[in-house]
Structure 1
Amino acid sequence: MPIGILWPTFALVALIFVVFVVMFYQRGRHTRANPPRDSDFATTEAAMRYFEPVEMPANNYRNLFEMPLLYFALVPLLLITRQADHLQIVLAWVYVILRIIHSFIHIGPKVVTWRAAAYALSALVLMAMWIVFFVDMLHAQAVISAAGG
């Protein structure tokens, strides 16, 4: 069923909101424990230094609007073209699970090699999703052309 692609998409959206809440909570806790002075926000660099102890959730939040943008662009294309098949749904779940793992490591244990591996694998899965979509579109075009359309 093509709308099955929406379930991993909902999970990715939920991840983004969870990371936002963690970021908001950690920044709030930081500002209560270390009341800022005007100089802490006088420049972008000063603000970055002020929030540095709690910046991992913010960094991860920004990451969730980089590569996942390609995922969010692909999902409607898969739905519109009716190419959201079982393979794409499985790949979407693998992608989202890897993004969850990446976020957990980024915010939690901060082990760079694990985080890099999760990021790289998620990028490869997303690339596979786009390649499968491209090949499916080539195949669909060939079928239409062969049928005289």
Structure 2
Amino acid sequence: MSGLIFPLFTHVLLCTVLYALLTIARAPVIWGVGQSNDGLNPFSNIQPKISANLSNQFEWPLFFYIASVLLIAMDEPIDSVQIYLAWVFVVGRVSHSIVQIFTNNIRLRGMVFTINFVAVLAMWALIFIGEIGL
């Protein structure tokens, strides 16, 4: 089994948790469950952040999935550096989600995003270097 399956699955779990959180945050408006005494949604301040973060999981991570599938499809041993970079990406995505949803710290969010951005760029660079034989 490929060592990339675990980080891929972990990112899928992150997306699943985000969908569950979004469902809970929207429940007061959609189903009337969990409304505050004044009839308002107690999650109205966090719901847009969860929604935006969930959308983010289908932008840059696309390149992570493509790189991972390419590495698996090449049917060659996957370098431990690639597996390490995949974990850096996933830990970065989890961190990015926490920062985006629970803080308003744009600078920290940018730094955390940069970590997982660079991890995927490095994965692609190693794939490219391996293919051209450098």
TM-score past 0.5 threshold = yes
Matched residue SS, 1:96: helix
Matched residue SS, 2:2: helix
The answer to which structure has the higher helix fraction is: 1
Deviations 1:72-109 (A, max 9, x none): 11111001112522010000000100000000111112
Report what 1:21 is aligned to: 20
Aligned partner of 1:79: which letter? Answer: I
Picking from 48, 59, 66, the partner of 1:66 is: 59
How far has the Cα of 1:132 moved from its partner?
Answer: 0.6
Question: Counterparts of 1:52 and 1:68 in 2: how far apart (Å)?
Answer: 27
My pick for the range that moved more, 109-118 or 67-76, is 109-118
How far has the Cα of 1:29 moved from its partner?
Answer: 3.1
Question: Counterparts of 1:71 and 1:7 in 2: how far apart (Å)?
Answer: 13
Name stretches of at least 5 consecutive residues in structure 1 with no aligned partner: 37-50, 143-149
Name stretches of at least 5 consecutive residues in structure 2 with no aligned partner: none
Identity in percent? 26
* Alpha-carbon RMSD: 2.1
Question: After the TM superposition, which parts of structure 1 deviate over 6 Å for at least 4 consecutive aligned residues?
Answer: none
Question: Counterparts of 2:88 and 2:16 in 1: how far apart (Å)?
Answer: 19
Report what 1:88 is aligned to: 82
TM-score (norm 2): 0.84
Structure index of larger Rg? 1
Question: Counterparts of 2:21 and 2:105 in 1: how far apart (Å)?
Answer: 19
How far has the Cα of 1:119 moved from its partner?
Answer: 0.8
My pick for the range that moved more, 57-66 or 118-127, is 118-127
Aligned partner of 2:82: which letter? Answer: Q
Query: Any residues of structure 2 matched to 1:87-126 within 5 Å, and which?
Result: 87-126=81-120
Aligned partner of 2:93: which letter? Answer: R
Question: Counterparts of 1:130 and 1:90 in 2: how far apart (Å)?
Answer: 13
Question: Counterparts of 1:110 and 1:17 in 2: how far apart (Å)?
Answer: 23
TM-score (norm 1): 0.76
Q: 1:84 to 1:110 in 2, by over 3 A?
A: farther
Matched residue SS, 2:59: coil
Q: 1:117 to 1:30 in 2, by over 3 A?
A: farther
Deviations 1:117-139 (A, max 9, x none): 11122111110110011101112
